Structure 1
Amino acid sequence: MTIPFVVPRAPELPAATWTAYLLTLAGAVPLVWRRRAPVAVLVGVLLATGLYGALADGPGQPLPYAGLVALYTVAVLSPPRRRLTTAAATAAVVVGSVLWRTGDARELLFSLFVFGAAYALGRLTDTRQAYLAAVEDRAAQLERANRIEAEQAAARERARIAREMHDVLSHAVSLMVVQAEAGPVAVRTAPERAEAAFDAISDAGRDAMVQLRSMLGVLREEPEGGADALPALVARVRESGLAVSYTAEGPVAALAPAVAATVHRVVQEALTNVVKHAGAGAVEIRLTVAETVTVRIVDDGRGRRGEGEGVRGRAGSGLGLVGVRERAAAHGGTVYAGPGPGGRGFEVRMELPGSTRSSSTRIGSTRNREADG
């Protein structure tokens, strides 16, 4: 806006005056505060421009730059009612100014077009800023959700590892303790049984080490040991002197790996608690694979003595029953742990929705039975 005052003018044109230049500055300087008071700045700019046209005979401007910038700012920052009212008033001022000065239709159309373009550009800018703000807010929400999900996944992983550690170590150590306690008696009364007891301790320790290496090596993979490994598990428990019977019905080999691992761990945990707490002489395990997968472990021991303790209600950390229920819940199943049939002994029963490697696998009636040991 200053350029017309510093560029030499034709001799026949009136010289530029300081009054005209100061009025020009009065129409431009208020733009410094346009974001704080957009409507007031627009009014001040239009007044300064009107005074320039009425009082000064200075060099003309190709475009009303200050008014266009002020109207653009009003379109960007003002609320709808104030924005529309100001735009209508500005249009009226533009029309009146052109009619008062020249009355030329082409100048009127051009003036309305450039002011309308400034207003439209302001609205587009406001829409774009609102869109970017919404995108940034959505990105922040997704980041928070991802962070929360990652924390929850880490917590679930820690809980899973805790369950695995509890199941592996509790089972192995329980067998080792029972065999170790029986060892000194066997040495005095039946040396040949003492050797078997020490072999059982060694086998339990090696098995625990193998499973721990697998768990620590690949923490995010389910440790080895499925339903097909139950006969070996039963055989190890029998070495402690407990009479264990195991019956499997249905396509056990077709169980999905995750379900098979859950079945194995639940049976392992139940047997561990029988060895540690039940004082039982016999335990029966029945696995049925049909429309639902049912695991039932029943012993003839003392049964439940209290609440809030281990699977059997005896002294312990309580992780056993919690872990069993968490495993079942992960597959949409349920667990019953309480008195056995007729109130005798103790029963652990888990039911899971049927889940096999192939949904087309037909549930057969083949029964694989292993004789009592």
Structure 2
Amino acid sequence: MSTTGARVPDEEADAAHAGSWSGLWWWTRRRSVALDVSLAAASALEASFEGATFAARIGIVSGLGALIGLLVGAMLVLRRRWPIAVVLVAIAVTPAQTGLILSMVGFYTLAASEVPRRLTALFAGMSGLGTMLVAFVSIESSVRHSSSRLGLPLVLAISILVAFGLTAPPVLFGLYVRARRRLVESLRDRADGLERELELLAEKALERAERARAAERARIAREMHDVVAHRVSLMVVHAAALKAVALKDPAKASASAELLGDMGRQALTELRQMLGVLRSASGTGTGDATPRAKYAGGAADPAAGEAGVDAAAEAGVEAGLGHEPDAGPSLAELAQLVQESRAAGMGVELAVEGEQRPCGRRIEATVYRVVQEALTNVRKHAVGAKAQVRLAYREAEVAVLIVNGPAEAVVATALPSGGHGLTGMRERVTAHGGGFAAGPTPDGGFRVSAMVPTAP
């Protein structure tokens, strides 16, 4: 059984509160040193006086008894390091009626330390029994010499009360201090755990917000790509045709110029609609307020800030997964889309299978964008090729297939390609839980197919 480093009353705080003082032996603060030295000095004086008195009573030199009492009382300076040793010394000198301060302070320190309670109870019982016997002998001797009529039961009761009064209060107070200190430590540990948990939750929410922002940027990039690539490619084709027929056929050139202007206006209209949706969906006038700023300064309660970050992250994730607002193209506009491609000189056929029905604006917008991007790719990479668009309404899904033949000739085109068209189509379709496939056909053409479920 080791008592090294036993922790005692909460009058001694952690070393973290010791300031710049590095500590002396087992003390962590100057105040602890001053307290223990003062108690040891008082105990030494009291034990020295009582030791001299006891030595004179039993016929020993008083100076020797005073010296022994001085050494016994000074043992109290070790109470924080070796509380059991101090208590054992106090029990040993109980028959000499010496060391009252040593006993009371020692038992308080023992009860308040991390020594098992059963040892504290054992030592307290030993001390109480010894104190009761000494008190009984002293009271009985005083009664016999004073010819008092106190009976033995009364003397025994007084002895028990004296033993209880000298032993129980310091032990009970020490147990109370020990329980209080444990409660404070548990509350501190719980507070530290909650703080760490909040920090982890905040970091997790910030990561989610970063992913949401990345998904939102990807969604905006897809929208810009679909609108700009399709319209601009048509405008480039018409501009080339306009240049070819400007001198030969002024009437056809005028019609192409008018169509070119219409397409430019349509592109601007779609861009304005998309930007308007983004602004209204953000809920604020700017997009600079990040979830990190909301967490740091937008809420006094960390839990409230955390909830705000989670809400922003979830909203951004939903937006990034393709949950656009209701504003957007529909499948009813596919015929117009095909007609625009035909007007640009491209051979396109549209076939619709199944009973036409509303499928939800988000799903219809996704299918429309797939067809739009596929036709744009045909104009870019398969000049002069014919294309077939097949739209099928099925029981629980809507499917689309775009197939084009090989290019009639290799033509240097001025239309740039970023290589993100197929990736954007796949992201749109898979965001709704659908399937997407694209690849070359055996005859040298290209095939794009997508299936989007209409049920959640």
- 1:186 paired with 2:245, answer yes
1:288 maps to which residue? Answer: 392
Per the TM alignment, residue 26 of structure 1 is displaced from its structure 2 partner at its CA by: 7.7
Separation (CA, whole Å) in 1 of partners of 2:453 and 2:403: 21
Report whether the alignment pairs 1:334 with 2:420.
Answer: no
Spell out, residue by residue over 1:102-135, the C-alpha distance to the aligned partner (whole angstroms, 9 max, x if none). 3637546666544444444344334333333332
Paired residue for 1:99? 129
Indicate how the Cα distance of structure 1 residues 95 and 260 shifts in structure 2: closer, same or farther if over 3 A, else same: same
Q: How does 1:224-239 map to 2 (within 5 A)?
A: 224-239=328-343
| 2:405 pairs with one of 293, 300, 306 | 300
Q: Distance in 2 between matches of 1:64 and 1:257?
A: 84
Q: How does 1:146-295 map to 2 (within 5 A)?
A: 146-219=205-278, 220=281, 221-222=324-325, 224-250=328-354, 252-290=356-394, 291-295=396-400
Deviation readout 1:139-178 (Å, 9 max, x if unpaired): 1221111011001001111111111111111111111110
Alignment of 1:30-109 (within 5 A): 40=81, 42-43=83-84, 46=87, 68=108, 71-72=111-112, 74=114, 84=116, 87-102=117-132, 104=160, 106-107=164-165
How far apart, CA to CA, are the structure 2 residues paired with 1:55 and 1:151? Answer: 77
Q: Which moved more, 1:162-171 or 1:52-61?
A: 52-61
In structure 1, what is the Cα distance between the partners aligned to 2:127 and 2:181?
23
Tell me the residue number matched to 1:362.
Answer: none
C-alpha distance in 2 between matches for 1:325 and 1:109: 80
For residue 427 of structure 2, give the secondary structure of its aligned residue in structure 1.
helix
Taking only aligned residues, the RMSD between alpha carbons, in angstroms, comes to 3.7
Give the 3 Å change call, closer, same or farther, for CA 67–17 of structure 1 in structure 2.
Answer: closer
Contact 1:262–1:328 under 8 Å retained in 2: yes
TM-score, normalised via structure 2 length: 0.58
The yes-or-no answer on 1:19 pairing with 2:45 is yes
Alignment partner, residue 453 of structure 2: 353
- Aligned residue identity for 1:177: V
C-alpha distance in structure 1 between counterparts of 2:247 and 2:122, whole Å: 116
CA contact (8 A) 1:20 1:56 kept: no
Runs of at least 5 residues in structure 2 that lack an aligned partner in the other structure: 1-10, 12-41, 48-69, 134-159, 282-323
* Partner SS state of residue 122, structure 2: helix
Compute the TM-score of the two structures, normalised by the length of structure 1.
0.70
Aligned to 1:10: none
What's the secondary structure of 1:336's corresponding residue? strand
Closer/same/farther in 2, CA of residues 68 and 294 from structure 1, 3 Å limit: farther
Give yes or no for the alignment of 1:325 onto 2:426: yes
Structure of greater Rg: 2
Cα distance in structure 2, aligned partners of 1:144 and 1:332:
29
State the alpha-carbon separation in 1 of the partners of residues 86 and 211 from structure 2.
58
Cα separation, 2, equivalents of 1:195 and 1:51: 121
Cα 1:247–1:46 shift into 2, 3 Å? farther
Aligned length: 313
> 2: CA distance between counterparts of 1:336 and 1:201?
33
- Whether contact under 8 Å (2:360, 2:454) holds in the other structure is no
In 1: Cα distance, 2:86 partner to 2:262 partner? 94
Q: Which amino acid in structure 2 is aligned with residue 287 of structure 1?
A: L
Structure 1 runs not aligned, ≥5 long: 2-15, 35-39, 75-82, 306-313, 360-373
The offset of 1:217, in angstroms, is 2.5
Displacement after TM superposition at 1:332 (Å)? 1.8
Contact 1:200 1:236 in 2 (8 A): no
Mapped to 1, the partners of 2:348 and 2:229 lie a distance apart of: 19
CA distance in 2, matches of 1:250, 1:26: 100
Once the 2 structures are TM-superposed, how far is the Cα of residue 254 of structure 1 from its aligned partner? 2.1
